[in-house]
Structure 1
Amino acid sequence: MTIRKPLAVAAALAAAASLSACSVLGANADDKASPSASGTPGGTVTLVTHDSFALSKGVLEDFTKQTGVTVKVVQPGDAGVLTNQLVLTKDAPIGDLAYGIDNTYATRGLDAGVFQPYTSTAAAASDAAKHQVDDSHRLTAIDLGDVCINVDHQWFAKHQLAEPATLDDLTKPEYKNLLVVPGAATSSPGLAFLLATIGAYGEDGWQAYWKKLVANGTKVDAGWSDAWSTDFSGGGGDGPRPIVLSYASSPPDTLPKGGGDARVGALLDTCFRQVEYAGVLTGAKNPLGAQKLLDFLLSDEVQADIPGQMYMYPVSTHVTLPAEWVRWAPLAGKPFDVPADEITAKRSEWLSQYSEIVG
């Protein structure tokens, strides 16, 4: 399945010592010096992003043709690794623009002074403003997605068992040993699911809920790939568990060739919404190039490319979604929510309590 495959958040500090990936897109990247803030846009702009970043072939080259700016991509890891890398290198930034820091980590980067203000005037800027997390416009929303429980329709039909629909259902005896989730301490969707339960049951109630999940045989894997591809029955690996934590955008990838219904469905009453942001880095060598690239991420060309390449929803309401997404991957009407500042203040405490419960 071509979908986000988050790496271990626990590797964040180790990743700060070195970058795991670096590529240059566009012509003559090494032949142009980055301009100063007072100069004109041009040269090379370095984009620091997560390891799930992908755009169709030719898209970034179009940006270079339009602006004369070449893009260099640095990918240190998933959203947690990315955030730690940006914070640890804030006094000597490793790039000009960061993309992929999400609402579970945004305030950490903001509090550390990683980003500088920039208000985009791009086509989708008004849509992005609906997801604003910072009044000084240091971060701009680019895309969003819902982390949700998914079920294997074929398995439940075969076993003549009604599918669960809510978080409460997952603790019922009939679903014992059927759920697998990636861990909150080791993956970004796992953390998002923990936040969904905190949003649903409150700061004093989520612990009891997780104890019920554990008692009901919930399996906790290190990452999304293990849960989806190995333990989940509908993810291609023919695993033993028909309930998995994934994304609302997962079902379209289980459509059979030649047509038919998606094998997997998302439970839209179990979701937490992730919003991904971009921001110009404080101390960027090419801040004008970074602004141009941020504007480009909000262009119709990039926004329309996001679903097929990164399995996230564009923030733009003007681009056309893939037809299979309209039918099989709707967003949740009322996803669970936890305020960003509360996440920042209590993330470590929550993860410590969570680890004690899941073992």
Structure 2
Amino acid sequence: MADIPDRFKLDPENRLLPMDYGYVTLNYDIQWFEERGIAPPADIEDLLKPEYKGLTVVENPASSSPGLAFMFVTAWRFGDKGEYTFLDYWRDLKGNDVLVTDGWSDAYFGQFTAGSGGEGDRPIVVSYATSPAAEVFFNNLPEPPTASVNTPGNSFEQIEFVGVLANSPNWEAAHKLVDFLLSPAFQEDIPTHMWVYPANSKAAVGELFERWADVPSQPVQLTPGEIAANREAWIEAWTDVMLRE
């Protein structure tokens, strides 16, 4: 635990231990924007501009974890009370012809221009900060055809935890497994197997992540309490705006 940064330790009793973390953020097709002489998005508010009409695909927060994370970004940025709320942002995004899919695979591999091999027509997608590195890895490329938007306040940090059930019949073996999962040996395998960052600060992420998986600046962080108190109401309100109005 000494090698895991304190900011990841959300349980003071250490019942759940941080194993890895990652970021949901916008990704865009570099070549698409270069060929048209349009500046790629640098902020989620850019998606509302006329020149970005019909360019973005997002995932439904009710059925997709990256979709949920992106909704959290908008809720954090605009709030749910006041003259302009996150629901107003989504109404404006809907008015700018955003496409909503049920899940990440359909969005990235079906609708995103770079991820679909040109079959899709959306050059902006909600994905992960590590997606450009994955493009290099899986397609054996010298550099990624995509880039992630890592500017302040435009990404959401997700932390994954591991723990042992209180009534586990194999308590000792389970604790040994947890120790192994947090060890540098296992943690250094996380980047190119799970496409997230290791929680252990002593674990090297490797050259691929160092070059192409930049950590976003000032990501959005909501507490578990904030998420638990608002998630269902926010999803229901989002659904009303995006799918029922």
Q: Which runs of 4+ in 1 moved over 4 A?
A: 256-259
CA distance in 2, matches of 1:323, 1:266: 18
Question: How far did 1:129 drift?
Answer: 3.8
Q: Does 1:267 align with 2:149?
A: yes
Which residue, out of 89, 114, 126, partners 1:245? 126
CA deviations over 1:172-193 (Å, ceiling 9, x no partner): 1110110001110001111111
Question: How far did 1:198 drift?
Answer: 1.1
User: What residue is the counterpart of 1:212 in the other structure?
Assistant: 92
Coordinate RMSD, CA, aligned: 1.5
Superposition TM-score, scaled by structure 2 size:
0.92
User: What residue is the counterpart of 1:160 in the other structure?
Assistant: 37
Question: How far did 1:127 drift?
Answer: 1.1
CA deviations over 1:17-70 (Å, ceiling 9, x no partner): xxxxxxxxxxxxxxxxxxxxxxxxxxxxxxxxxxxxxxxxxxxxxxxxxxxxxx
Question: How far did 1:133 drift?
Answer: 1.4
User: What residue is the counterpart of 2:164 in the other structure?
Assistant: 280
Q: Does 1:308 align with 2:192?
A: yes
Distance 1:337 1:258, change over 3 A: closer
SS of the aligned residue for 1:305 comes to coil
Which AA in structure 1 matches 2:124?
I
- Where is the helix percentage greater, Structure 1 or Structure 2? 2
User: What residue is the counterpart of 1:221 in the other structure?
Assistant: 101
Q: Does 1:358 align with 2:242?
A: yes
Contact 2:18 2:199 in 1 (8 A): yes
CA distance in 1, matches of 2:168, 2:5: 23
User: What residue is the counterpart of 1:231 in the other structure?
Assistant: 111
Superposition TM-score, scaled by structure 1 size:
0.63
Question: How far did 1:287 drift?
Answer: 1.7
User: What residue is the counterpart of 2:16 in the other structure?
Assistant: 139
User: What residue is the counterpart of 2:72 in the other structure?
Assistant: 195
SS of the aligned residue for 2:43 comes to coil
CA distance in 1, matches of 2:65, 2:28: 20
Contact 1:183 1:191 in 2 (8 A): yes
CA distance in 2, matches of 1:208, 1:177: 18
User: What residue is the counterpart of 2:225 in the other structure?
Assistant: 341
Radius of gyration: which is bigger? 1
Contact 2:64 2:103 in 1 (8 A): yes
SS of the aligned residue for 1:255 comes to helix
**Identical amino acids, percent of aligned pairs:** 38
SS of the aligned residue for 2:21 comes to strand
